Structure 1
């Protein structure tokens, strides 16, 4: 299963960003695990990002296909708003799902997909679709955006542990910030009791400008990209990196970029008052 969250980032003016974060673990009933599964997706030519939880095979295959179709300009019209793009995505995703062999190969009781988008006026959008074996139906859900940074959707088998920890973060000095959401996510993943969740964090998102972005993550002093460890690769600064504090970092050094804002986590201070 998965821990999958999305949240809206709001600055002093208005919504400035939107994100989807996930763990990277794929697990099997016999206890086997694979900690490098890709669960978040970004379009390079459109301001759209996605994440899934539940069954693995169907969404991982189909979301890769749909992102490529979107980037080639085959699914969205350039003048469409976020609602129109979302509906086109949902229609195509469900059409493909309906061709899956009686859904008998869906390994979990539910399948969920989060879609986040942005229009030309920098208005953000988020919607989740959910299918269950019990109902055999799809249901779409949207949430109202607050005037401050806050979670939008939290789902998957790790959701309960995240929400319990988030209550503490909500009372900290970092509340109403994007860093509180991501710090809570990473903190939950590090301490999680649900062993079907694990691996490195992975993150995609949108700013007010440009298209979907997949972030490199520095976790436990190691580099990960889309769930895969990439310490033995090169050209690290070709992507934007964040550490578990949500600080902007250099992919080459793994350290916070000079001049980048420090993002201390007050809930992880050691006996000397320092944060990792």
Structure 2
């Protein structure tokens, strides 16, 4: 049970970034009391520009994505698969299918895995962003793989999970403001939706990962009114010393205490939002 969103940022020269955001709640049944708000739902390679996320049944995706990150980080993926987005996407498709088919039938539910990749690096023409999805149908025992078309401007690519409707409603409010249709407002709409609590199966702190034009993927810390968190964990030990990027619900670059960095661009909440 999840609220998940994938989006891309762009400037006048083309795509600049891709982000995945999710809540931290894992639920075991329809009783919202049986929930755990510390579940990791988005992942990032430490050496490659590749990010992962999921919605639906948690056990299989968490296992698959953890293994995928280790295989990438340890250089254990085939060199042939490394050469193209098609090779990398098919590599993950085979991994997902193999793991899902082996799962016991006694407990098997639908899930979707999201896979974001940057090929190349630098300015558009030298780099490109891609999003692939893998949806497992537990009844049919079938995996549907899709490559999501990329827009030419900042835009949401996918909204998924039980909190989709609540997030969609909040996104409309932000889109109607004078800051609408920007990368930062997509994260702000997500945080507002999560804080409002309209979806009882989504909760905990926001989680955020992303890819820029250069370098490997990043895991961001997020500072809300509850304090700093990292991958859903509040009260992160020595968070003020962590050499990671921090964002607040307005997507501003902040330190672990929530103070906007001196050289960062500041954003005010639009009137009426």
TM-score normalised by length of structure 2: 0.92
Of 43, 51, 59, the residue aligned with 1:41 is 43
| Alignment partner, residue 135 of structure 1 | 140
| Alignment partner, residue 123 of structure 2 | none
Distance 2:253 2:9 in 1: 15
1:233/1:105 CA distance change after superposition, 3 Å: farther
Q: Residue 61 of structure 1: CA displacement? A: 2.1
| Alignment partner, residue 274 of structure 1 | none
| Alignment partner, residue 256 of structure 1 | 260
SS in 2 for 1:138: strand
Could you tell me whether the CA contact under 8 Å between 1:222 and 1:231 is conserved in 2?
no
- 1:80-229 to structure 2, matched below 5 A, reads 80-102=83-105, 104-106=106-108, 108=109, 110-120=110-120, 121-229=126-234
List structure 1 segments (4+ residues) > 4 angstroms apart after TM superposition: none
Deviations 1:13-72 (A, max 9, x none): 110000111000011224311111000010011110000111112211221121111111
Of 231, 252, 269, the residue aligned with 1:265 is 269
Deviations 1:120-166 (A, max 9, x none): 13200001111123432111223222221110011000011111221
Deviates more, 1:52-61 or 1:139-148: 139-148
Aligned length: 265
CA RMSD, Structure 1 to Structure 2 (Å): 1.7
| Alignment partner, residue 27 of structure 2 | 27
TM-score normalised by length of structure 1: 0.91
Q: Which runs of 5+ in 2 are unaligned?
A: 121-125
Distance 1:143 1:130 in 2: 13
SS in 1 for 2:208: strand
Q: Which runs of 5+ in 1 are unaligned?
A: 270-276
Distance 1:77 1:237 in 2: 33
SS in 2 for 1:101: coil
Could you tell me whether the CA contact under 8 Å between 2:25 and 2:38 is conserved in 1?
yes
Distance 1:268 1:214 in 2: 31
Distance 1:221 1:4 in 2: 20
Deviations 1:70-112 (A, max 9, x none): 111112528512221111111112111111123x322x4x200
Determine if the alignment matches structure 1 residue 63 to structure 2 residue 65.
yes
Could you tell me whether the CA contact under 8 Å between 1:24 and 1:227 is conserved in 2?
yes
